[in-house]
Amino acid sequence: MDESPTDAQVACFEAGIKFGTLYHQFAGTPVSLESAASLERAIEESIENQPHCVDVTVEIRREELETELAESAADYTELTGRFLEVEIVVEYEGQEVVTRMEMEDGYPLMRVVSVRRSSEKE
């Protein structure tokens, strides 16, 4: 017998779609110390346009970016996961999912942080 996904499962799926879009849409974008803030805002605003997305926070890791640029002849580099810390909040049918992407052991790991009923917010 087929079971329909729960609202929490759909909310998690929606969060995964947002991360897939964010990562693959913006990976390779030229970024410099001067453009980092505007790129953060552009990514946030772009992803927030998607259905069920209620909040996106993007931080380009300036220290990592600065290190990369110090070793380069150029004044910009390509945006990759190692420069990003991201939090995405999705709400679907009363379920809130908080997801994050952070560097872990040299890899930009995306994970579900919490799933709860929207009414349980602190």
Q: Is 5 helix (H, G, I), strand (E, B) or coil?
A: coil
Q: What's the number of domains the chain is made of?
A: 1
Q: Phi then psi for 96, rounded to 5 degrees?
A: -115, 130
**Which pLDDT tens digit goes with each residue over 61-91?**
999 999 999 998 999 999 999 999 999 999 9
- Domain annotation covers residue 110: yes
Instruction: Say whether pLDDT at 39 is over 90.
Output: yes
pLDDT of residue 12: 95
- Domain annotation covers residue 121: no
Q: What angle do CA 57, 7, 43 make, to 5 degrees?
A: 20
- Domain annotation covers residue 120: no
CATH code assigned at 88: 3.30.1300.20
Q: d(Cα 39, Cα 67) in Å, to the nearest integer?
A: 18
- Domain annotation covers residue 38: yes
Q: d(Cα 97, Cα 110) in Å, to the nearest integer?
A: 13
- Domain annotation covers residue 122: no
Domain that holds residue 80: 7-115
- Domain annotation covers residue 25: yes
- Domain annotation covers residue 71: yes
Q: Which residue has the higher pLDDT, 55 or 118?
A: 55
